[in-house]
Amino acid sequence: MKIAFYSTNKYDKESFNQIQSQHTIKFIEFQLNIDTIIYAHSYDAVCIFVNDVCNKEILLELHKIGIKHVLLRCAGFNNVDILYAEQLGINVVRVPEYSPHAVAEHAVALLLTLNRKIHKAYNRVREGNFNLDGLTGFDLKGKTVGVIGYGKIGQVFAKIMHGFSSDVLVYDPFIQQEDLINGEILATLDELFTHADIISLHCPFNEQTQHLINEKNVNLMKDNVFLNNTSRGGLIDTKYIIKALKTKKIGALAIDVYEFERDIFFKDLSDSYIADDFFDRLNSFPNVLITGHQGFLTHEALHNIAEITLDNATKLDKFNQCDNKVIL
């Protein structure tokens, strides 16, 4: 199979080149959009990542040039119009589980860094400043942690929080109390918002979860609540969360994803002007910590992503079927 890989970085090339494969791969640095489809001419499949656009317009153009498969090298598929792909006969496959520990551990790293002001302490010490004023955090022991989404990543995160002797509430509309494996307590969404000191998002992004963190739900939360998001940026209403930070309703915000990240993340913009007022405002708060969608970025996860993606391609090439095909 000939595969055009979009939105590729150095680490993508390294991880995929380590896997023995009979497929022909072309690495493309650009995102997939209407202007870059031309790079997929004469190929059988495109391989895309979280910020590539694969809506009806793109899918139709891919179909016209003979693309038969869309290989997602991630778990989420909110950037692909799955139903229209099915109508066109284009298979969409994904990597449903590459390393839940990678993302869960990054969520914990964000929580610990922002709570204990590690990033600020690091910069101070490098400048010879050993003053501790302004670096006070809080114990995780005894805090109530609300986990929204109890898939593989949510399960690992909840287990880690138990290790800190935190009390863990879980909201997931698709599970029952007996499905919880680490002694968590199943809660309604309102109960979780009302009682949690820390809220961590691990649910998929779709029509039901878009702007889950909105004015109505934030008003249910405790004052100075800690909000953590390593899932998808669109779960948070960015415009309102800025207001909630200004009023100190949100006490701290740690995010590895951002609602409008498509034109920012995975790029070096250090010599450029970031023309995004929402991002600039978020980045100006001392109690906000942002990383650039790197939760997946471990050696183990990258290896698994490459291995599973190429295995998906092999199965499609041989059988035109794959267990990891996205079906709604």
For residues 136 and 90, membership in a common domain is answered with: no
Count of structural domains, the chain:
2
Tokens, residue 103: 């993302």
Which one from 69, 106, 232, 259 is the annotated catalytic residue?
232
For residues 159 and 25, membership in a common domain is answered with: no
For residues 306 and 283, membership in a common domain is answered with: no
Judge whether 119 counts as a catalytic residue: no
Judge whether 116 counts as a catalytic residue: no
- Residue 324 located in a structural domain: no
pLDDT at 312: 98
Residue range(s) defining the domain that contains residue 106: 100-290
For residues 85 and 203, membership in a common domain is answered with: no
Judge whether 207 counts as a catalytic residue: no
pLDDT at 247: 96
- Residue 327 located in a structural domain: no
Which one from 105, 184, 259, 261 is the annotated catalytic residue?
261
For residues 104 and 179, membership in a common domain is answered with: yes
For residues 265 and 315, membership in a common domain is answered with: no
- Whole-prediction pTM value? 0.94
Q: How far apart, in Å, are the Cα atoms of 135 and each of 138, 226, 260?
A: 10, 16, 30
Which one from 73, 106, 202, 293 is the annotated catalytic residue?
293
Query: One digit per residue, pLDDT tens: the chain, 328 residues?
Result: 999 999 999 999 999 999 989 999 999 999 999 999 999 999 999 999 999 999 999 999 999 999 999 999 999 999 999 999 999 999 999 999 999 999 999 999 999 999 999 999 999 999 999 999 999 999 999 999 999 999 999 999 999 999 999 999 999 999 999 999 989 999 999 999 999 999 999 999 999 999 999 999 999 999 999 999 999 999 999 999 999 999 999 999 999 999 999 999 999 999 998 999 999 999 999 999 999 999 999 999 999 999 999 999 999 999 999 999 999 8
pLDDT at 31: 97
pLDDT at 328: 87
For residues 104 and 239, membership in a common domain is answered with: yes
For residues 189 and 118, membership in a common domain is answered with: yes
249/108 Cα distance (integer angstroms): 22
pLDDT at 30: 95
328/325 Cα distance (integer angstroms): 10
Tokens, residue 37: 């489809």
For residues 52 and 24, membership in a common domain is answered with: yes
CATH number of the domain encompassing residue 224:
3.40.50.720
- Residue 256 located in a structural domain: yes
141/29 Cα distance (integer angstroms): 44
For residues 16 and 67, membership in a common domain is answered with: yes
- Residue 325 located in a structural domain: no
Which residues have a Cβ under 8 Å from the Cβ of 163 and sit 6 or more positions away? Answer: none
For residues 104 and 188, membership in a common domain is answered with: yes
Q: How far apart, in Å, are the Cα atoms of 237 and each of 17, 47, 217?
A: 39, 29, 11
Tokens, residue 41: 């001419």
Strand, coil or helix: 171: strand
The length of the chain is 328
CA-wise closest residue to 234 among 256, 263, 202, 212:
212
Tokens, residue 72: 């997602």
